[in-house]
Structure 1
Amino acid sequence: MDINQLKYFVAIVNNDFNLSNASKKLHLSQPALSKYILKFEEEEKVQLFKRKNGRLAGLTPAGENFYNNAISVLEHHAGMLKELREHSTTVKGSVRIGIPPLILTVLFTEVMSRFISLNPTIRFEIIELGAFELRKMLLLNELDFALLLTPTNLSPLIYEEVIIRQDELTAFMSAQNPLAEKEILTWNDLRGRDLVIFNETFMIHHQLMRKFDALKMDPKISLMSGSWDFLLEVTRTSEFITILPSPIRHHFFIQEIKERHFESPINWNVVLTYPIKTHYTQIERYVKKSIVEYFTEHKEIKKISTT
């Protein structure tokens, strides 16, 4: 007996064994309803109903037991369907995304706020560390996604990389700094200058040190920090110079600070990086697609689809 036949059986009992009334409520012909019951009794070699003068008059002991079990099964079936429908309209889960503080502020403020507000049942865990540290976490399988800078030096056989933003590093300094008078700087202009830069946990630090090594420069690093806004602030009333991604200029409003480009700049290319797998969860596919389309096709972040 399938679930529909169980419903037929329960409907007959609930309508005082009146096949005519039961068939009307079930939108089924009375002969068809009778046939279902007889067929089941014959196949299972059991009698569910007491009969009198060819009419149903009640339940046998086996029928009573079967009725109680049928009620339980139908209630459980209804609960299963309800739960299935709820899950079909709600995606639950979590995702761990590593984002350096500067990239989080400059590029991902709107992205993350949209992710979180549109998908309250998904837990977006943001690991806010320098790109150098996030690369280590990615190698240890502690992240689902990481935002890194090129070159990542990750194996293309193990990790996928998608460039989402291409820019360059520029110098920021006080308007009173003598170098602020130049429109374009050379790296040699920094010789002997007081520099304030990101610390070793940031990929930008290592990019700069490689550049200085290539030029055989011994940079005068006066201060290192993990806070980009602090690095900017200390240049405002001093001769310190900091080197940050050019897009940072859209996130401060200090007239005393000037930005100057380099003649041969260091590229600041941000990549979305993640392990290559045979299967990605629905949430992982959603995050990857949303981020890539937001930055490369300028599409707005939408709620995760349940279809």
Structure 2
Amino acid sequence: MNIDHLKYFITVVNNGFNLSEASKKLHISQPALSKYILKFEEEERVDLFYRKHGRLLGLTPSGENFFANAKGVVEAHDRMLKELREASKKVRGVIRIGIPPLILTVLFTEVMSKLILLNPLIKFEIVEAGAFELRKLLAMNELDFAVLLSPSELNPQAFLEVLLKKDDLTVFLSSTHPLAEKEMLRWSDLEKEKLALFNESFMIHHLLMGKFRALRMEPDIQILSGSWDFLLEVTKDSEMVTILPSPITKFIATDGILEKKLVSPVSWKVVLTHPLKSYTSTLEKYVKESIVEYFQKGKDIVPINGESEEEKPL
């Protein structure tokens, strides 16, 4: 028995045991298909089908088991050939990745720049949006990957997520603010402070609201914005306080803004998410492995097709 014969058997089952329909789809004669089935059953001394007056009615228990195994073998065979053919030619294609603006600036500028520059045959479509919009696009299969904060609230049976970066949310305030003298802050220190926070489209907003509720705090929120640099600037010339991911510290371009860590902080966990699929292309595997190893192991990005265009000698 070869792969084609397994496909014959699967096609018969998938067409409701109608040999006429199956033979048309397989481009072979109905007598030849019927003869193949009978010959196989005789050689293996097994009945795969229930019959009545020569017509196939359904699968026997042995047939059910054989059908399940046959599908697995054919899928593995097709996948093996597809991967082999991909490996034999230069990989090209499109990758759609969604990244929130804050994370793109703070964490992904370098890694995405390298992926783009080292792979001229690959088109990277970067979608900047908040977590809620990215989750929707991912569910609609309009993204290959999305970078989100944990908990992502995605169905774990349909999506996979890998932790890339873990840090804390910290307080940023003016160096002249009364709280600037404290080495560390408690959440109770913020209870009467005027807060400038990310708006509801950001997961950070919801993480903070959850923390406030858990502590039974009623925060005095004066400003909601989608711009992290605006939130920082607001604190510089006022007594307002903002709460942002700690890595933002290295992006503060002006003096007069301090970072203060919190006792029992809210964690900021960045994850790479993608749909669970029976087949993952070479390109998708490359992008995932490159991003994960860059963050988890500090590995540099290498081009998918070996030497990049920029590295070729003249």
Question: TM-score under structure 2 normalisation?
Answer: 0.68
**Aligned residue in 1 for 2:48:** none
Q: Following TM superposition, by how much is the alpha carbon of 1:90 offset from its aligned partner in structure 2, in angstroms?
A: 3.2
Amino acid at match of 2:237: T
Amino acid at match of 1:115: L
Counterpart Cα distance in 2 of 1:120 and 1:184: 47
**Aligned residue in 1 for 2:145:** 145
* Structure 2 counterparts to residues 162-241 of structure 1, below 5 A: 162-241=162-241
The alignment partner of 1:107 has SS state of helix
The alignment partner of 1:108 has SS state of helix
Q: Following TM superposition, by how much is the alpha carbon of 1:89 offset from its aligned partner in structure 2, in angstroms?
A: 5.2
Q: Following TM superposition, by how much is the alpha carbon of 1:121 offset from its aligned partner in structure 2, in angstroms?
A: 1.6
**Aligned residue in 2 for 1:272:** 272
Counterpart Cα distance in 1 of 2:234 and 2:191: 19
Counterpart Cα distance in 2 of 1:303 and 1:281: 16
The alignment partner of 1:113 has SS state of helix
**Aligned residue in 2 for 1:55:** none
Q: Following TM superposition, by how much is the alpha carbon of 1:270 offset from its aligned partner in structure 2, in angstroms?
A: 0.5
C-alpha distance after superposition, 1:164-189 (max 9, x if no partner): 10100000000011111111111111
Counterpart Cα distance in 2 of 1:99 and 1:265: 24
**Aligned residue in 1 for 2:290:** 290
Counterpart Cα distance in 2 of 1:90 and 1:226: 40
* Structure 2 counterparts to residues 1-307 of structure 1, below 5 A: 90-305=90-305
The alignment partner of 2:277 has SS state of coil
Amino acid at match of 2:114: R
Counterpart Cα distance in 1 of 2:132 and 2:265: 20
Amino acid at match of 1:225: S
Amino acid at match of 2:293: E
Amino acid at match of 1:189: D
After TM superposition, the runs of 4+ consecutive aligned structure 1 residues lying more than 3 A away are 87-90
Structure 1 gaps of 5+ residues are 1-84
C-alpha distance after superposition, 1:253-277 (max 9, x if no partner): 3220000011010000101111111
Structure 2 gaps of 5+ residues are 1-84, 307-314
Q: Following TM superposition, by how much is the alpha carbon of 1:220 offset from its aligned partner in structure 2, in angstroms?
A: 0.9
Amino acid at match of 1:290: S
Q: Following TM superposition, by how much is the alpha carbon of 1:280 offset from its aligned partner in structure 2, in angstroms?
A: 1.0
Counterpart Cα distance in 2 of 1:217 and 1:251: 30
What is the aligned residue count? 222
Question: TM-score under structure 1 normalisation?
Answer: 0.69
Q: Following TM superposition, by how much is the alpha carbon of 1:147 offset from its aligned partner in structure 2, in angstroms?
A: 0.7
The alignment partner of 2:208 has SS state of helix
Counterpart Cα distance in 1 of 2:139 and 2:197: 26
Q: Following TM superposition, by how much is the alpha carbon of 1:132 offset from its aligned partner in structure 2, in angstroms?
A: 2.8
CA RMSD for the aligned pairs? 1.8
Counterpart Cα distance in 2 of 1:153 and 1:127: 19
Q: Following TM superposition, by how much is the alpha carbon of 1:305 offset from its aligned partner in structure 2, in angstroms?
A: 3.2
State the percentage of identical aligned residues: 58
Q: Following TM superposition, by how much is the alpha carbon of 1:138 offset from its aligned partner in structure 2, in angstroms?
A: 1.6
Counterpart Cα distance in 1 of 2:229 and 2:274: 29
Counterpart Cα distance in 2 of 1:304 and 1:249: 33
Counterpart Cα distance in 2 of 1:278 and 1:298: 29
CA contact (8 A) 1:133 1:202 kept: no
